[in-house]
Amino acid sequence: MANTAEKVFELIRTTVEAEGVSLWDVRFLKEGASWYLRVFIDKDEGVSIDDCTNVSHAIDPIIDEADPIDVPYYLEVCSPGIERELTRPQHFEQMLGETVKIRLYKAVDGKKEFIGVLKSAGEKIVIESEGSDFEFGFKDISKANLCDF
């Protein structure tokens, strides 16, 4: 179902941007017995309830017409939040210079979690942590978040 989120992302991107916000991410998740299509939007001055409502109203008919989801689901439009998850290469590029927490699938130097300043993003993600630079492949990262402290 991961492809479902990507299909919806591409389907709604232009419409979301026409509402004056950027499309941060789309996730299609099962929680308990229910499916949720979560659309994360962002803008520099912060996302309001009105932004979420307007985007929801704008994208709902587009998703219904294209019908990329074959199970009943709930549509949620929300902000990625202060400690937003970084899931796409462009997220890392946008957060250069910010403090991030990175969790890895496999330990590096005996650690699976690093907190540091994001110095570089591209083929490799580089953070400065505890006075040293650490380099990770995008595929080696199990989870990455912006830190709010």
Digit-coded pLDDT (tens) for 53-66: 999 999 999 999 99
Quote the CATH superfamily of domain 89-146: Ribosome maturation factor RimP, C-terminal domain (2.30.30.180)
User: Which pLDDT does position 148 carry in this prediction?
Assistant: 80
Q: State the distance between the two ends of the chain, measured CA to CA, in whole angstroms.
A: 34
pLDDT of residue 2: 57
Domain ranges of the chain: 2-78, 89-146
Predicted confidence at residue 122, as pLDDT, reads 86
| φ, ψ of residue 113 in degrees (nearest 5) | -130, 130
Residue 101: burial class (beta carbons within 10 Å; 0-12, 13-18, 19+): middle
The pTM for the full model equals: 0.86
pLDDT tens digits along 71-106: 999 999 999 999 999 999 999 999 999 999 999 999
